[in-house]
Amino acid sequence: MKVLTISAVLLVALAGLAVVATVWLRAPVMAPALTVDGSVTVRGEPPAVLTNNELSCTTGGGFDDIRQGAQVVVTDAAGKTIALGELSAGSWKRNVGCIFLFNVEDVPAGEKFYGVEVSHRGRVQYTAGQLAEPLALDIG
């Protein structure tokens, strides 16, 4: 009777391990998250670009939504928001314009296409490969 009980316990344990192994093997493998880096350059002269000094700038004249803290939205191919970031303070570059950097972390990997939208300026589509390089967006 003791041998039968031990055999039954071992059989139940092995069945449990088989279930755990099956579930573990079927679990999706999560790809590492992406980081989307880029810049938005507002080109032009006042009132579009207003320099605070030789290093910093702000925007105006219809571009005042492009500013420090403006939202950067990353979406999947269906347009669902999957990550958020924001613009840094503007940096002035003579003969170029006011440049705002952004860095959006924890973007889920595995999508074929991603959308990136700054403020309300419209979504631009990118492949995952294109997001591996810093994005350079221009306005004005």
Q: What is the structure's pLDDT at 19?
A: 47
Alpha-carbon distance values, 5 to 12, 17, 19, 90, 129 (Å)? 11, 18, 21, 74, 58
Q: Is 136 in a helix, a strand, or coil? A: strand
pLDDT for the residue numbered 103 = 97
End-to-end CA distance of the chain: 86
Nearest to 90 by CA among 43, 126, 122: 43
d(CA 17, CA 22): 8
pLDDT for the residue 110 = 94
Cβ-Cβ contacts under 8 Å for 4 (sequence gap 6 or more): none
3-state DSSP percent of the chain in helix, strand and coil, to 5: 20, 40, 40
Q: Is the pTM of this model over 0.75?
A: yes
Determine the pLDDT at residue 140.
84
Instruction: Fold for 34-139, please state it.
Output: Immunoglobulin-like (2.60.40)
Residue type, 37: D
Those residues whose C-beta lies under 8 Å from the C-beta of residue 81, and which sit 6 or more positions away, are 73, 74, 75
Rg, the chain, Cα only = 25
Maximal C-alpha separation, the chain: 93
pLDDT of the residue at 132: 92
Residues of the chain with pLDDT under 50: 3-4, 8-14, 17, 19-21, 23-24
Domain ranges of the chain: 34-139
